[in-house]
Chains A and B, each alone.
Chain A
């Protein structure tokens, strides 16, 4: 199914109008003088967002006749691989720490993106891990989770 840019645009704008309504109505729960002042600020943001989104949506419905296809990425497979790999990297981060997932992530993504020269990949991976260890762990004492050295 081909989704046009204007469809996504309109869907986002409708979502923003809904958000503005929810945001505005949520301020009725704000109590006390300090919260009431915050409520005014949030109400201002909600009204502005709702109003401008409505204007933009009206303009789009009235004027926009384009059929430009919505393309998130020119190469969906590589794009998806990177996103999934990043999520897996983050999930593994807490369990096994930084270094093991990074040692897998860097070469795998390089290969997935079509780079096949093994030596530069290995050297880059080693250099990055060594740099992180020396600067982050040793010098700046950043507490990376997982296995410690």
Chain B
């Protein structure tokens, strides 16, 4: 009760509101990440009251995770990599005048996912942390494979399965460039110093999603604005029936993946999205604007927020990069992660956790209030939209590493991506390979070394066996259905 009173004091509420709104803004801008915002603000919290400082950072974390979905839906520009799956479904909805509904689904799913994960953090943190330690490199590799299984789902009746897999492989090969984490040797850097750390996925993401969109807009013969969008978005469209099932699925998946050290919101969003596609009754709508996909992906990535703090707070092992930055904040305030946080520093730790419930509520209100207005971004003339988004694309690519090289990377990805898009390769599969490739390689290499070169390690543990079953369930039915359609079409054409 005392902790709840701390959270609901005026200064705490103000801090949470400022942090969450700032987080939504940061997450909404491609190139600015929650890690960057939290990392930059950690030193500033040093002079603040520790509890308020942590609440501010917690608010930013929650807000940023949601904020990434706004430009993903409206501009096909994911604010964060975790919002890529949201863009796949959200942007087609926005284009067809259902942007407000997409934003509504996104904010509600984010709220439920975030709240559920924080509840789990509050109730079960120490128990879950012990279980997460059983998750080794072999299981990490399998988790990446589960995420990559999404490539099969990306292929549909309009795109070739082989081309989707090739695109995924191209992404994974690009991810190989740079320093080999296992041996420290350089691979395929061609003497370019900027490639030592590899190809950052954020400029690639900006190039493949937002810049391609702008190049296509710039290349259109005529620039007409569909004003019917305005009328349609002003109508209050109700949430689709049965959406709660997908939100629950994403919340659970996101929280579980968040608890695993080193795993992130991106993989959680893709796996949740993939699960939702498997159980959906309207599979054919995926990729064309299905709110079920948004619900699963958004609840999945926000589910990671609370989940990632479980190993961070209880074991001092950050769940992801934002949690690592948050851990820095705990440490500079003299709070060493571990069981003491729940005993000696309970007066700071519990208000911090409870404050994240409030942060989720704040972005829910902000999102629901602003959704109809934000959807009107579709009415901005393309001739204004293109230079503005291109400017932010340049800035966002640069800002992550303060490197002009990344701006060129973004342009190369935009041009190359447009060419392969035109001939039927899936850009979503490419980005999936680029993001999950390093996780897969790290897990594979470490697993092989631990297993003395034997691949048996990937089948040994009970968790690994369960994961293989899930991978089988994710891969086989869509492959079978794809082959069936392929054979059926062949017979029909013959």
Pairwise interchain contact B448-A71, C-beta atoms closer than 8 A: no
Cβ–Cβ < 8 Å partners of A56 in chain B: 160, 162-163, 166
Q: Which of B32, B423, B448 has the most CB of A within 10 A?
A: B423
Main secondary structure of the interface of A (DSSP, over half): helix
Q: Kindly report which residue of chain A lies nearest to residue B449, judged by CB atoms.
A: A37
Min CB distance A118 to B, Å, is 12
A124-B162 contact given A87-B411, A145-B404, CB 8 Å threshold = no
Min CB distance A33 to B, Å, is 7
Among B172, B394, B448, the residue within 8 A (CB) of A37 is B448
Encoded as 1 (CB less than 8 Å from any A CB) or 0, chain B from 365 to 407 comes to: 0000000000000000111101110110011001100101001
Q: How many chain-B residues does the 8 Å CB contact rule pick out?
A: 63
Cβ–Cβ < 8 Å partners of A59 in chain B: 162
Pairwise interchain contact A114-B383, C-beta atoms closer than 8 A: yes
Query: Size band of the A side of the interface?
Result: 35 or more
Encoded as 1 (CB less than 8 Å from any A CB) or 0, chain B from 438 to 450 comes to: 0001001100110
Pairwise interchain contact A41-B441, C-beta atoms closer than 8 A: yes
Pairwise interchain contact A72-B419, C-beta atoms closer than 8 A: yes
Pairwise interchain contact B219-A45, C-beta atoms closer than 8 A: no
Of the candidate stretches B87-95, B176-184, B307-315, B335-343, the one touching chain A is B176-184
Min CB distance B301 to A, Å, is 22
Pairwise interchain contact A49-B173, C-beta atoms closer than 8 A: yes
Min CB distance B489 to A, Å, is 12
10 A-B pairs closest in CB distance: A73-B219, A115-B383, A109-B387, A113-B383, A34-B183, A34-B182, A90-B407, A79-B219, A106-B387, A9-B423
Report the number of A-B residue pairs with Cβ-Cβ less than 8 Å: 176
Pairwise interchain contact A110-B441, C-beta atoms closer than 8 A: no
Please name 5 further chain A to chain B contacts, defined as beta carbons within 8 Å, in addition to the given A12-B420, A37-B445, A71-B422, sorted by A numbering: A35-B183, A70-B423, A74-B219, A113-B382, A113-B386
Min CB distance A58 to B, Å, is 11
Cβ–Cβ < 8 Å partners of A86 in chain B: 211, 390, 394, 411
Pairwise interchain contact B183-A45, C-beta atoms closer than 8 A: no
Q: Does B122 contact A (CB under 8 A)?
A: no
26 A–B contacts, CB within 8 A, in A order: A5-B422, A12-B423, A16-B170, A19-B173, A32-B183, A34-B445, A37-B449, A41-B441, A49-B166, A72-B418, A75-B221, A78-B218, A82-B214, A82-B215, A83-B411, A83-B415, A86-B394, A89-B394, A90-B404, A105-B390, A105-B391, A109-B383, A115-B383, A115-B384, A142-B399, A145-B404
Encoded as 1 (CB less than 8 Å from any A CB) or 0, chain B from 32 to 44 comes to: 1000110010000
Interface residues of A (CB under 8 A from B): 5, 8-9, 12, 16, 19, 23, 26, 32-35, 37-38, 40-42, 45-46, 48-49, 52-53, 55-56, 59, 70-76, 78-79, 81-83, 86-87, 89-90, 93-94, 98, 102, 105-110, 113-115, 120-121, 124, 128, 132, 135-136, 140-145
Cα(A116)–Cα(B188), bound, Å: 47
Q: Kindly report which residue of chain B lies nearest to residue A87, judged by CB atoms.
A: B411
Min CB distance A146 to B, Å, is 11
Cα(A55)–Cα(B166), bound, Å: 11
Pairwise interchain contact B218-A82, C-beta atoms closer than 8 A: yes
Cα(A145)–Cα(B394), bound, Å: 13
Min CB distance A73 to B, Å, is 3
Min CB distance A11 to B, Å, is 9
Min CB distance A81 to B, Å, is 8
Pairwise interchain contact B173-A23, C-beta atoms closer than 8 A: yes
Cβ–Cβ < 8 Å partners of A145 in chain B: 402, 404
Pairwise interchain contact A136-B182, C-beta atoms closer than 8 A: no
Cβ–Cβ < 8 Å partners of B407 in chain A: 89-90, 93
Cβ–Cβ < 8 Å partners of B420 in chain A: 12
Cβ–Cβ < 8 Å partners of A82 in chain B: 214-215, 218, 386, 390
Min CB distance A88 to B, Å, is 11
Cβ–Cβ < 8 Å partners of B163 in chain A: 56
Q: Does B424 contact A (CB under 8 A)?
A: yes
Q: Kindly report which residue of chain A lies nearest to residue B219, judged by CB atoms.
A: A73
Encoded as 1 (CB less than 8 Å from any A CB) or 0, chain B from 126 to 166 comes to: 00000000000000000000000000000000001011011
Cα(A50)–Cα(B180), bound, Å: 23
Pairwise interchain contact B391-A128, C-beta atoms closer than 8 A: yes
A48-B402 contact given A37-B448, A41-B444, CB 8 Å threshold = no
A38-B395 contact given A76-B219, A82-B218, A83-B215, CB 8 Å threshold = no
Q: Which of B395, B420, B449 has the most CB of A within 10 A?
A: B395
Q: Kindly report which residue of chain A lies nearest to residue B22, judged by CB atoms.
A: A139
Pairwise interchain contact B423-A49, C-beta atoms closer than 8 A: no
Q: Kindly report which residue of chain B lies nearest to residue A121, judged by CB atoms.
A: B384
For chain B residues 18-69, which have a beta carbon within 8 Å of chain A? 25-26, 29, 32, 36-37, 40
Q: Kindly report which residue of chain A lies nearest to residue B221, judged by CB atoms.
A: A74
A79-B383 contact given A37-B445, A90-B404, CB 8 Å threshold = no
Q: Does B169 contact A (CB under 8 A)?
A: yes
Pairwise interchain contact B162-A55, C-beta atoms closer than 8 A: yes
